[in-house]
Amino acid sequence: MAKVYFPQYARGREGVDITVGQSILTHIRQIGGVEINSECGGQGVCGKDVIRMDKGSEHLSEMTDIETRLSKEGSLPKGQRLACQAKVIGDAGDIRVFIPNFGKYTILTDLIHTDTDLEPCVSKERDRLVYHTGEDLGLYGGKILGLAIDVGTTTIVMQVVDLETGENVGKPMASKNPQIAYGNDVISRSGYALEHEGGLKELHDNVIDGVNKALLEMERRQGVEAGGIAKSIYDIVAVGNSTVRSLFFKQNVDALGLIPFEPLSKASLTRRASGLGLKVHPEAMVYSPPLIGGHAGADCVADIISTRVYDKDEISMIIDIGTNGEVVIGNRDKMITASCAAGGAYEGYQIKCGVGAIEGAITEVRIDKGGIQMKTLGDKPPLGTCGSGIIDLLAEMLRNGIMNERARIKENFYLTETLHISQSDINELIMAKAGLRTDQDLLIDYYETDLDHVDKIYLAGAFGNFMNIENAMAIGLLPRTDKEKFVRFGNGALAGARDMLISRQKRQDAEDILAKIRHTKPNEIEGGNFPYMVAERMYFEK
């Protein structure tokens, strides 16, 4: 039988049997481990799942209207196709597909140091048996390790910990979440699970395979035989937003893709690792803390744990601008949260000049009389602008009069001969920042306080770690306040997962704080006034 081959990738070299009527993107998904940028989940909107045919183009459908339009605009090079649009129309011969390299992601692995006491759920008893909360897991094999996992929409970051000493085993491991081939947003993925038979299993297997591969890569780097580390992992804590956490545990996500976008259950989860397909000790357990509500998930709980917001008298705020944005305000007495889809545009998605945090992404921009100065990841030629660069670009355009306070430009602004930001890009950016900023302002109001009484503002994740805070305040993405209030705390979700891995008390804290949290949906609370509130924050202060 004829096959579709992807010779750039080890698994792709074996090929996959042709299924007539299905797109090339569908064939990519069947293999797994083949990376392609499919931000819109195969809807043909993003135009970034570009492929080049090395053989067998005659077995594909004609170019669609979407491809023709992109080709005329110059976005789709001559002779190339979109994987989601190119469908197989015959199986008379093999097809060979080349996927242009869209870059290696730079993933934040930095963790804040916490003072958590070592008190894990798993331990060795005198009879050399390993127990997990009283359950016998078998004979002690020389090590008791644990695994903390932050399952992000775009990335997976993990840390192995020695549960007998509390020391990290090697450095954190980071990789792209292979589910990115199903779309860069959680709505695309929940939609895929809902609309495709076997879609939930496919997405679950995809992310679990990503974790297993990362463990193998860690062992390879440390010169350990395959399974040499994994077989000693007895306990795992996994966190993520409501959708990716549910997919990780193979839970139904239908409700998260439909109004009112709430999980079927917010309860914490404990499962046997082997039942999930994780290749660790066969009796290992996997725990995930409760969900807060909507898309504020277990990763947000982990942020709260790692910052200790729940244990302070002073009022603090957490702002996590990722593919999904979460905002938290509160202290030991009460907390309020909200979530919104704010990060896509600022992570380089949804805008034509944008890219993720890949090599060649513009991270810093400065405009002066001498022209434009830029820095890129890896000092590579500029491919596009990622989040921190986008913030700088908007702020610099505003300062230099290239863009006015109403977010208008007279013409496309070029950073290079071919790379530019357009008015439509700016429209996407001001809408995204206005939504997140509205949530920040309303949570402060709901808490019946003001910005002066907020002691610390924690900036979570890669976005918060690298952004220019002054520029973010200048464009209204962050509130104008004393810069000293802002605290960058790296991968707070992974740090919180690690805390819960080494401490039974932190797991209990995670269970207990849910009683203090009120999850809000400002758009529902404010009703018809909410669009006007967002509109007020779209533009810039003079």
Instruction: Give the DSSP letter string of 230-263.
Output: GGGEEEEEEEE-HHHHHHHTT---GGGGSTT---
Domain end marker among 271, 300, 329: 300
| Collapsed DSSP state (helix, strand, coil) of residue 80 | strand
Q: Same domain for 56 and 91? A: yes
Give the H or E element holding residue 426: helix 423-446
CA 124 from chain centre, in angstroms, equals 36
Of 344, 352, 349, the C-alpha closest to 420 is: 352
Q: Same domain for 48 and 186? A: no
Task: Write the CATH number for 173.
Answer: 3.30.420.480
Per-residue pLDDT, 542: 62
Q: Establish if 383 belongs to a structural domain.
A: no
Contact 345, 429 (CB under 8 A): yes
Question: Token match 């096959």: residue?
Answer: 3
Q: Establish if 231 belongs to a structural domain.
A: yes
CB-based contacts of 180: which residues, under 8 Å, 6+ apart?
Answer: 35, 37, 38, 154
Phi-psi category of residue 465: left, alpha or beta, with phi > 0 → left and psi -120 to 50 → alpha: alpha
- Structural domain containing residue 10: 3-98
Q: The tokens of 537 are what?
A: 């924050």
Per-residue pLDDT, 40: 78
Of 159, 103, 39, 202, the C-alpha closest to 497 is: 159
Q: Establish if 253 belongs to a structural domain.
A: yes
Q: The tokens of 172 are what?
A: 């954190």
Q: Same domain for 191 and 257? A: yes
Of 116, 189, 120, the C-alpha closest to 152 is: 189
Q: Establish if 418 belongs to a structural domain.
A: no
Of 309, 276, 292, the C-alpha closest to 242 is: 292
Per-residue pLDDT, 176: 82
CB-based contacts of 126: which residues, under 8 Å, 6+ apart?
Answer: none
Task: Write the CATH number for 27.
Answer: 3.10.20.30
Per-residue pLDDT, 107: 59
Domain end marker among 98, 131, 150: 98
Question: What is the mean pLDDT of each successive set of 10 residues along the chain, which is 542 residues long?
Answer: 81 86 91 74 83 89 92 82 93 86 58 83 87 91 95 90 94 85 78 88 93 92 90 97 95 84 90 97 96 92 96 95 85 93 62 77 89 89 86 95 95 90 91 91 97 95 84 94 92 94 97 93 93 93 70
Per-residue pLDDT, 32: 66
CA distance 469 to 461: 14
Of 355, 317, 353, the C-alpha closest to 335 is: 317
Per-residue pLDDT, 360: 83
Per-residue pLDDT, 256: 83
The rounded mean pLDDT for the chain is 89
Question: Token match 């009527």: residue?
Answer: 21
Q: How many domains does the chain have?
A: 2
Contact 16, 4 (CB under 8 A): yes
Domain end marker among 36, 66, 98: 98
Contact 443, 525 (CB under 8 A): no
Of 450, 485, 503, 451, the C-alpha closest to 121 is: 503
Q: Establish if 376 belongs to a structural domain.
A: no
Q: Same domain for 158 and 289? A: yes
Per-residue pLDDT, 34: 72
The number of residues in the chain equals 542
CA distance 106 to 55: 32
Per-residue pLDDT, 349: 59
| Collapsed DSSP state (helix, strand, coil) of residue 37 | coil
Q: Same domain for 59 and 190? A: no
Q: Establish if 286 belongs to a structural domain.
A: yes
